[in-house]
Structure formats: structure tokens, C-alpha cells
A and B are shown apart, each in its own frame.
Chain A
Amino acid sequence: MATNNNSNHKYVIETRDLDIFYGSFKAVTGVNMKVERHKITAIIGPSGCGKSTLLRAFNRMNELYAGTSIQGQVMFDGEDIYASQVDPVEVRYRIGMVFQKPNPFPKSIYENIAWTARIHGYRGDMNELVENSLRQAALWDEVKDKLHQSGLSLSGGQQQRLCIARAISIKPEVILMDEPASALDPIATLKIEELMQELKKNYTINIVTHNMQQAARASDYTAMMMLSQEGERSGTVIEFDETNRIFTNPKDKRTEDYVTGRFG
């Protein structure tokens, strides 16, 4: 995979007729969507429609679940990340991920970031890197006096920001966020959203969320996913557009029902 960070492709991630399978079950069907550089793209939809599955396919995390496979292509800067010569470890290095449940390493706050940097051969000033990462994640002021306490001693919202700091410490090009605020209270949620606005200056963010207000508030583009009603119940993107259009003037009736809360 080319290591050129300043690619000219406007779309960082682009899927082409992407199908995702769990064994023989087709969980996601025919997704064509484009994630624009330095924008926040949200994926919304009801539970069980394959949002997280789709997101995990963007950095090959789905391969860690036994029996998953894909058809179609996921292009990253114009290259297929599922091509045989591509190392999934490098994909995950360049496309970072923040999970639904905050999952700091059971190490110190400092070590959470330092370990991550070290495995990628970071040789620079570690203190500086830790401080910068924590500052970017808006966590520095809260933890600067207890860097050597366990990451698990923080509150849920702080843990999630630590996970974001950890993800950005190795300078990925894209950050995938899988319902990063669903386990947090509204104040912590707001902090994460503000942080996303800050981060999008430097990173491309792709977020899965249950919370439609969050998608409306925070994202630039929105993909609406839904289970197909007939035949095998498989998730697919039924509408993908700028966020304000999805919320104010959706083309699809089902999107309209969902975003206005009239859905089932």
C-alpha cells in the first residue's frame, strides 16, 4: 500500500458494491458510499442493520471475527485494502478505530499512548507525544497530574477520550468511531462531539451512531442504513447525502419516517 499521505483522491474511503458475510449469511448488501477527506460521515439506522459491521469492514477489523468475508471493494486512497498484498495491520495503523465501549489498556494513562507509539517504532520525545495526543483529545488538563495512574481509573467519558488520544497518537488518516458516545452521559457525549469538530481539521472521521440528534449536530454527510424488507434480511445503505438534506429533505420515505421518529 502506498504510504503517500497527501493523495489527491477527494474521497479517502470508497466502497464499491460491498457485501459483507457472516459465514453464509449476508449481513450487508451492495454498499456504495464515499467518505470525503476532513469531513465527518455518519452512519445511522436501526439496531441490527449492519452499521458496525460496515464500519469494521473499513479497516479490516471484521476479519478478527471468525467466519466473516466480503465481496466487492473497499478503496482507501484509491487502493483496495482487501487486495492480497495488503497487510491488515498496516490498514489498521492508518485507519484507526474507537470502540463503543471505552477500552483503554489496563496500563497507565501514559503507557496507553506510549505503548501504542512504541509498537510502531516511535523514536521521538515520548513525553511530548503523550502530551500532544492528550491535548488534542481535550483530556490533558484533567489527567496531567495523574499520568501514571491506571487508564481504567478514569470516568467513562475520560476513558473514551483516552482511547481517542491513543488512536490519534499514531497519526492515522481516518478515525472510525463505533457509537463512541453510546455508553456516556449527555455531558460526556457533548465533549466527544466538540472533540470531533476539532479533530476533523486534521483527520477524516467516520462515525456510527444510534443517536440521530448526534448525527444531525455533528456530521457533514450521513448514510442511512436499513434492513431490506423482502427476502433475506440484509442491511444496506438506502440513502447517502449531505446531513442537512437527509434530515430536512430525504428522498426515501423510509429515511423520512426514521429521522422524524415515525418509524415502527
Chain B
Amino acid sequence: MKEKTTVEGFADNLAARNRRGMVWQALIQASTVVGIIALIALMLNIINGAYGYVAYEAKVDPDTLAVNGVALQDQSQEQLVTLLQSTLSSGAFKKLENEKPFASRSLEDVYQLVVDRIVRPQVVGVWSLWLSLTQADEIRATVAQENPDAELDFVSWLNPGFITRPQTSEPFTAGVRTAIFGSLWTILFTILVAFPIGVGAAIYLEEYASDTWLNRIIQTNINNLAGVPSIIYGILGLAIFVRTLEPLTSGEVFGLVDPTTANGRTVLSAGLTLGLLVLPIIIINAQEAIRAVPRSLRNASFGVGATKWQTVWSHVLPNALPGILTGTILAISRAIGETAPLVVVGASTAISFDPNSPFSKFTTLPIQIYQWTSRPQDEFRSLAAASILVLLVLLLSLNASAVLLRNRFSRRF
């Protein structure tokens, strides 16, 4: 192209403008790269902890527990219960019985208890994946020298057993099944509470509320509530759901009498508390989505004599739904990772049975992770790393289903 003749008053600055654009582009690309590096570092760190060599020795050799030549793993439930009763202190035995009667426990469950409480494999050394890969020989030499009786295994802390076993206090037999169910139950109630209320409030605020000072105050407060620290919601949940509404959240008014239920510290209380926590997020996102429905569509509907509700229900909501679901996905992600409010509301730190109703005691994955990371022993940190992987997978699959749902709705024309 021939060079443009310079017009007086206009600078010949095209090259400079392009340069400036490239600098900005490089900067924003760099920020993406920083984010990705941070994510990769996080994943590597978790994986580094979740796999590696473990050295362990059993406190009691299982062979010595054989009765009349029947090996421990082949014994009947009765035999195992008797063994537990004779070996454990009466207090510890009663505590287990209280948690869940032995009669209603499965054989597998009881066997697990025997391994936990009597055989007691003791971890004497844990190595990270990186060390296990790069210094395997040194690790072997160290173990052979310091703990000649110990066995050294390469262990994936994240294994099928880890996911299907309930929580115990022994690292080798500990699992996260209880916590997974606890998280799922809690999230279920969170969604059941927060989604309808949040969307309802958003519809009211966007479509019906007039622009008065009261409504403006409400709107401002909702925006502020989204930024309130989650522990404060925990305190609120403790005061309202656990204490004040205890008859309701413990299931008492529904005729449920369960000595193992810890007052109002139930799945229901946790779900309601997290529901309150994510409510502002859902409301704000739903409002954005409703506001984004074009005026022309509302005009079309009103123009053919539709009522306000017909317009909202048939046109505004279906068209806002993908956006509303996006907000809900964000809210679920937030809720499933919350720890602090659940600590306050009273998530159990050690329970070995699954929640099976809204009125069950519960623990959740983040609580479990928090518990394990705060222990001094290395092996629990490896367990925490494995649970983090489980939590991430759970989060991804919940989000994936929400995204699928959203795409289904947004494909309707």
C-alpha cells in the first residue's frame, strides 16, 4: 500500500498504536499464564502428597489373633465382636456400641474395627511422590536400618478402599465415604433451600419491586452480604438453626428420637446455613441474568396482552435460566468447599457411619481435610492430599452436571 500523505494536525501514529496494543496483549496473556502456573503448582503439590512410599509395622501380629487355626479375616462377626469386647476397654467398647449397635454393623465394618483397634498397623515413615521416585534406594536403606521389622510399600493413598471406607482414626484404614455422603447431603439441602428462594427473590427484585428507598437498601444489603465472612454465617447458623430451631433441625417435631443425634447439629442445619451463605450469590447472579433478557422480548409478550406473571414465567425465566444456572454452579462450588461455618455449626470430627436422613450427624470433605492437615503425623497429611483429590473430583462432577443442564436449557431455540 502506498504511504498515506500526512494530513496536517494528525500524527502518523499507527505503528505506535499497534505497539501499545501488543504490550497490553502480552500483559493479559502473562496474567493468564500466572494463573495456570499457580493451578499446576497446586495440583502437583496435592499429587505429591497423595502417592509415595510408606513404611509400617503392625502393633499386634494378625497371626497371633487366629482362633483354632481360623485366620483373622475368616472369622465370623460374633467371634470378632467377642475379640473386640475382650481386648478393648469397656468404655471404648460401649462408645462403639453407642455410635452404632454391633448387631446392625456389617461384618466388613466389624473387621475394620478389629484391624483399627487391635492389629493397629503403625506407620513409621511416609515419603512424598517426588522423593519416592527420585530417592527410592536411599529410602529403602533408611527403613532397613532404622525399622528392620517394617514393611515398605509404594502406596496410592487415593484408592477404592479410601473412597468406600468410613472414617477411622488409623491412617491405613481411614476412608472418606462418610465425608462424601456428608458433603452430598449438605449440598442437597443447600440447593433445595438457596435455589428457589434465591431465584424467587431475584424475580421479585427485578420484576416487581419498585424503585423505593427500602428496596434500594435491601439491594445494597444483598450485595454486601455476598462479602460477609463465612464464619459469621456459621455463628448465625449456630444461633438460629442449631440452637433456636433445635426441635426442628434435630427432627424432634417429626417424632424422631435418636440418642446418637447430636441435638441440632445435623445435615439439615448445615444445609440451611450454607444455603444462607450462598443465597446472595444466587440472587445477584439471577438478577443479572433476568436483567439481561432483552426488553424487546418483554414488549413482545406484553404487546399480545400477556400478564406480568405470564411474561415472567414463559419468557423471562426460560431466557434467564442459563445465567441463573451459571450463578448456581458458582454457589455450589463455594458451598462444597466451605469449612469454617460447618465447624461452628458443629460438624462431627470423627464419625464412622454415613448420614442417612436430614437429621443425621455429619462430617464433610473440607472438614475432614482440615482435621487431617492439622494432625502432626505425616501420614494424615497424605490422607488429606488424597481427600483433596476426591473433593476436586466431586466438585468437577457436580459442576459438569450443572453445565450439562445449562447447555440443555440454552439449546431451546
Contact = CB atoms under 8 A, between A and B. Distances in A.
Q: Quick one: which of B302, B310, B314 has the most chain A CB within 10 A?
A: B302
A104 B305 contact: no
Contact of B300 (A89, A103, A119, A150): A103
A106 B413 contact: yes
Q: Quick one: which of A89, A90, A150 has the most chain B CB within 10 A?
A: A89
Contacts of A21: none
Contacts of B314: 115, 119
A167 B310 CA distance: 16
B297 A103 contact: yes
B305 A105 contact: no
A116 interface: yes
Contact of A99 (B300, B306, B412): B300
A170 B306 CA distance: 11
A61 B296 contact: no
A244 interface: no
Interface in B97-136: none
Interface string A83-109: 000000110111011110101111110
Interface string B296-308: 1111111111110
B318 to A, nearest CB: 8
A150 B410 CA distance: 13
B384 to A, nearest CB: 48
B211 interface: yes
A187 interface: no
Contacts of A116: 304, 306
Interface in B24-66: none
A94 B305 CA distance: 8
Interface size class of B (residues with CB under 8 A): 10 to 19
Contacts of B413: 106-108, 150-152
A165 B297 CA distance: 16
Q: Quick one: which of A93, A105, A151 has the most chain B CB within 10 A?
A: A105
A59 B218 CA distance: 33
A219 to B, nearest CB: 21
A69 to B, nearest CB: 14
Contacts of A166: 300, 304
A97 B301 contact: no
A167 B301 CA distance: 10
A105 B296 contact: no
A92 B299 CA distance: 11
Given A64-B298, A106-B297, A89 B304 contact: no
A52 to B, nearest CB: 12
B296 A103 contact: yes
Given A89-B307, A116-B304, A103 B299 contact: yes
Interface residues of A, number: 31
A163 interface: yes
B315 interface: yes
A116 B302 CA distance: 10
Given A115-B314, A150-B413, A120 B305 contact: yes
A2 interface: no
B387 to A, nearest CB: 44
Interface in A113-159: 115-116, 119-120, 150-152
A212 B211 CA distance: 40
Interface in B388-413: 412-413
Nearest to A98: B303
The DSSP consensus for interface residues of chain B is helix
A92 B303 contact: yes
Given A66-B211, A107-B413, A108-B413, A119 B310 contact: yes
Contacts of B303: 59, 61, 92, 96-99, 167
B408 to A, nearest CB: 15
B373 to A, nearest CB: 49
Contacts of B300: 99, 103-105, 163, 166
B319 interface: yes
B302 A64 contact: yes
Contacts of B412: 106
Interface string B280-318: 000000000000000011111111111100100011000
Contacts of B319: 106
Contacts of B302: 61, 64, 92
Interface in B298-349: 298-307, 310, 314-315, 319
B299 A167 contact: no
Contact of B304 (A90, A96, A151): A96
Q: Quick one: which of B296, B299, B304, B314 has the most chain A CB within 10 A?
A: B304
Nearest to A100: B296
Nearest to B315: A105
Given A101-B296, A107-B413, 10 more contacts: A64-B299, A92-B304, A103-B297, A105-B297, A108-B413, A115-B314, A119-B306, A150-B413, A163-B300, A166-B300
Interface of B: 211, 296-307, 310, 314-315, 319, 412-413
Interface of A: 59, 61, 64, 66, 89-90, 92-94, 96-99, 101, 103-108, 115-116, 119-120, 150-152, 163, 166-167, 170
28 contacts: A64-B298, A64-B302, A89-B305, A92-B303, A94-B305, A97-B299, A97-B303, A99-B300, A99-B303, A101-B296, A103-B297, A103-B299, A104-B300, A105-B301, A105-B315, A106-B319, A106-B413, A107-B413, A108-B413, A116-B304, A119-B305, A119-B306, A119-B307, A119-B310, A120-B305, A163-B300, A166-B304, A167-B304
